Chain A
Amino acid sequence: MDTILSALPDILSATMRMTVPLLLVAIAELFSERAGMVNIGLDGLMSGGALAGFLAGYFSGNPWVGVLAGMVAGVLINLIYAYCTIKLCVDQVVLGMAINILAPALASFFYKVAFGDSSALAQGVQMATVSIPLLSDIPVIGPALFQQTPLAYIAYLLVPLSAMFFTQYRAGLNYCAVGENPQAADTLGINVIGTKVLACVICGALSGLGGAFLTLCYTSTYADGIVAGRGFIALSAVIFGRWQSLGVLVACMLFGFCDALQIVLQVNIQGTPYQFFQMIPYMVTLIALVLFVSKHMGPAANGQPYYHE
């Protein structure tokens, strides 16, 4: 027990770090679903972003180039989803599934093209952390909260920004109208198709960013399967957070905490097979869904195709 107590600052810091990719991707999904686009291809988008971020960072030596590449990759892949679901009205879940198969395959392919089949992992760049003056000097929580990579600050900043956009701005209200009732929005002169495409671009960019975080901040390597279901956990976080930015943050922090906890437990507790610790994030996601999710209450037209003339 003592070991766990002494690991608390570590856990806190790791929680803050592990929440970031989930949060970025959950907000990506929030933007997507608010416009009525259920995207279950988040895992795929993340792996695309992870690889593109890694490669661009590796070859340029600049993590910010990696960040940009990750976002662009996410957007490009998600434009496939956008075209098929918006223009052709393909079932969103089916296409999300296809993205989950396509994007990791692309990532794996390009990695092998770049580095061959060697078993040694290529070392890319890692983004340095930035301490916030004064705040990071607070004992225990200071280093945990205010010594993060810039991407982490961006992710946390997105929470109030998105909340404000959806509730305080006309554009945000119009945006939500598309996810609630696209026919009505259309008769009101709101650009339904444009909003949906925009939603896909935002979703792709943020998911790609979330993926790039994994290869630029969390580790500095790329391996197939690095995403490890985080997209689906983020998807649950949106449901669990009831489609509200703040709720999504709380959900992501819970899942981020589990991720952090399992790492700390693995290091500190011997004797119990490590696989059981690794199960924690997935099990907690399941349990959280069982205990706290009530009936479906997302945007009314979520996941439905919009047939337009």
Chain B
Amino acid sequence: MAELMRMEHISKRFGTKLANDDVSLGVNEGEVHTLLGENGAGKSTLMNVLTGLYQPTSGKIFFRGKETKINGPRDAASMGIGMVHQHFMLINAMTALENITLGTKNNPSPRLNRSEDKRKVQELADRYGLEVDLDARVADMSIGMQQRVEILKVLYRGADLLVLDEPTAVLTDVEAEGLFSIMQSLTAEKKAVIFISHKMREVMRVSDRITVLRDGKSVTTLSCAETTSQELADLMIGHRFRESIYEKVTNPGEAVMSLNHVSLYPERKHGGLKDVSLSIHRGEIVGVAGIDGNGQSQLAQVVTGFAQPTSGTVDTPSGKVAIYSPKSFIDAGVADIPEDRNSMGLVGDMSIAENLILKNTDDERFSYGHGAWFKSRHIHEFAEQMREKNDIRCASVDQPVRSLSGGNQQKVILARELESHPSLLVAAYPTRGLDIGATEFVHDAMIRERDAGCAILLISADFDEVLKLSDRIVVLFEGQVMGTYPGKGAPVKEISLAMAGK
């Protein structure tokens, strides 16, 4: 099969950081080529170089055998390279059709001719079996359809090489199967796909060849038929990977919080809760499984007091909750690892020390007279202590927390939230975007806290994470509880069906 694209010895430097270090990658026509690597291994940087958003510091790119320089996204598109980003690059206020035709010159007239554009796009969609409502606004679409809009956008620009960045992270298993068949119809027409993922099962299922990246370097390229998922995992991490296995708890203590028939925005299909009942007990981890956007965020909002349910009650050992405010929930011993650590968990421009005392500024350890005068020295000592204890890697506790890596930011949040020994910990997507080391750290901390008697509600889009940590698993689909399953010997097949609403 003919080679479509080859990147040779690509390096990309940001300041002192080498994001890509002598990476080489070749993709053939009609091939699904997987790019495998941990967060921060340099996959996104490499793809941004390929699509012209970044210029490589050194190295060469060949397309159809000719050396080329890709100066920008427009260049990449005109050559036939298109990318579907992990965070969709769509304009929510516009329709699918507008999003697809934006910026193109396929139709030379300066005036918009919507019906003709629509006919062309529809043709393309039918050809590859992409079901899209072209007149709907992106904001009103399901995630799956948004992704199909992204793929159409790339195809409409005549792409022969499609980069799909973690495309299945936001899809149900059924939707993912749909995506795989779309990929098949693409490769059948000699188009090539660069598939970025770290889900071994999928990688083994769809790939022709696999290139492993680690620490910004390309480790090796293997044919899918000649490797195993274990080998890939070891290559990705750089040493033999032994996943820790945690003991499951089957006899937890008394309930710390119970939701009784709780509804929040029940009229919404995505982003609402309908008649949810569940309780969380001392010394257990309740895992909430489900595809993103099925009410997980709203569940987290209710159990942290951020939102008041439209109907239903929340009970705690001291009675029914009357006031829904983060403050009253915090006072009642609820700790929170919010889903977006930058926008919800931390004040990025404040120092590490300040973020560590964020919730306790009135505490007599840190100030005289309930916040009337800060004890700067005590705050500093406390921060140093926390840094030691939680292995927060930083130059100084006075540096802004924004300058830390994601893993270290999460450690700051963990340190702050667990330091008060909460009775309930709400952990929403606690390892999103973290590398394996930091992920293990967070998992260990959660298990330690559970064993110390804390009740933990784990919300995660990563099904494997839920299976690994949960003592009990609750499945959410379109805001409803589809079922509750034991964590020990969890019925995986049944749970995946429930996640798809079956």
Contacts and interface: CB of A to CB of B under 8 A. Distances in A.
A190 B103 contact: yes
B276 interface: no
Interface in B70-93: 72-74, 77, 83, 85, 89-93
A185 B74 CA distance: 11
Contacts of B91: 177, 180-181, 184-185, 300
Contacts of B72: 189
Interface of B is mostly: loop
B98 interface: yes
Contacts of B73: 186-189
A214 B110 CA distance: 36
B82 to A, nearest CB: 9
B89 A187 contact: yes
A171 B111 CA distance: 8
B93 A174 contact: no
B90 A189 contact: no
A91 to B, nearest CB: 13
Nearest to B139: A300
Interface centre among B53, B93, B101, B109 (most CB of A within 10 A): B93
A168 interface: yes
A162 interface: no
A185 B103 contact: yes
A299 B92 CA distance: 10
Contacts of B85: 187
A171 B105 CA distance: 10
A187 B112 contact: no
Interface in B29-74: 51, 53-55, 72-74
A187 B102 contact: no
A170 B110 contact: yes
Contacts of B153: 188
Interface of A is mostly: helix
A184 B104 CA distance: 13
B17 to A, nearest CB: 14
Contact of B89 (A171, A173, A184): A184
A162 to B, nearest CB: 15
Contact of A183 (B55, B89, B98): B89
B235 interface: no
B110 A169 contact: yes
Given A184-B90, A186-B73, A187-B85, A177 B111 contact: no
A270 B280 CA distance: 74
B358 interface: no
A188 B110 contact: no
Contacts of B107: 170
A247 to B, nearest CB: 16
A309 interface: yes
B165 to A, nearest CB: 12
A188 B103 contact: yes
A168 B90 contact: no
A189 B77 contact: yes
Interface in B323-338: none
Interface residues of B, number: 27
Contact of A180 (B54, B92, B109): B92
Interface string A181-212: 10111111110000000000000000000000
A300 B89 CA distance: 13
Contacts of B169: none
Contact of A170 (B53, B55, B112): B112
Nearest to B105: A170
A170 B89 CA distance: 19
B102 A186 contact: no
B77 A171 contact: no
A137 to B, nearest CB: 36
B51 A187 contact: yes
B500 interface: no
B8 to A, nearest CB: 22
B94 interface: yes
Interface string A279-308: 000000000000000000001100000000
Contacts of B90: 181, 184
Contacts of B54: 309
Given A177-B91, A177-B94, A300-B92, A185 B102 contact: yes
Contacts of B94: 173, 176-177, 180
A169 B112 contact: yes
Interface centre among A168, A184, A309 (most CB of B within 10 A): A184
A186 B102 CA distance: 11
Interface string B184-214: 0000000000000000000000000000000
Contacts of A173: 94, 98, 102, 112
B53 A186 contact: yes
A177 B102 contact: yes
A33 to B, nearest CB: 13
12 contacts: A168-B111, A168-B112, A170-B107, A180-B94, A184-B89, A186-B53, A187-B89, A188-B77, A188-B104, A189-B74, A300-B91, A300-B93
Given A168-B112, A189-B74, 15 more contacts: A169-B111, A170-B109, A170-B112, A185-B91, A186-B73, A187-B73, A188-B102, A188-B103, A188-B104, A189-B103, A190-B102, A300-B91, A300-B93, A309-B54, A309-B55
Interface of B: 51, 53-55, 72-74, 77, 83, 85, 89-94, 98, 101-104, 107, 109-112, 153
Interface of A: 168-171, 173-174, 176-177, 180-181, 183-190, 299-300, 309
